[in-house]
Amino acid sequence: MKYRISASIALGVILAAGAARAHHNASNIDFTKRVTLTGTLTKLDWRNPHVEFSLEVKGDNGQAESWSFSTGTPYSFARRKITKADFEKAIGQTITVEVSTARDGSRYGNLSKITFPDGRVVVIGA
């Protein structure tokens, strides 16, 4: 019984550490370097603690590049009258985002502003 409790506690610590690392990945973001990207919304993960989505963008060489973004909570969008359905309607369509990019040069960023296909602009970060 004692070993089961210890194993359960150890598993809980490991899972919590992984979630904390994922949640605090902002340390890899350079908030002084912003780019604007236009591409096709390909994927949405609408959940707490952050909404995440992917965009297919044409790179400088003309080849498609897949970018991933993290942003605020679903509630941060709800306060701005944007719902999961708004994102789902935009899948497969062209959107424009302004993001702070990853320090390590990967195609990852933190969303500041998004322009939906219908022209609605939503500012999430400063």
How confident is the model over 84-117, as pLDDT tens digits?
999 999 999 999 999 999 999 999 999 999 999 9
CATH annotation of 28-123? 2.40.50.1010
For the cut 50, the answer to whether the pLDDT of residue 11 exceeds it is no
Mean pLDDT of the chain: 85
Q: Are 26 and 100 in contact (CB under 8 A)?
A: no
Query: Residue 4 has what pLDDT?
Result: 58
For the cut 60, the answer to whether the pLDDT of residue 10 exceeds it is no
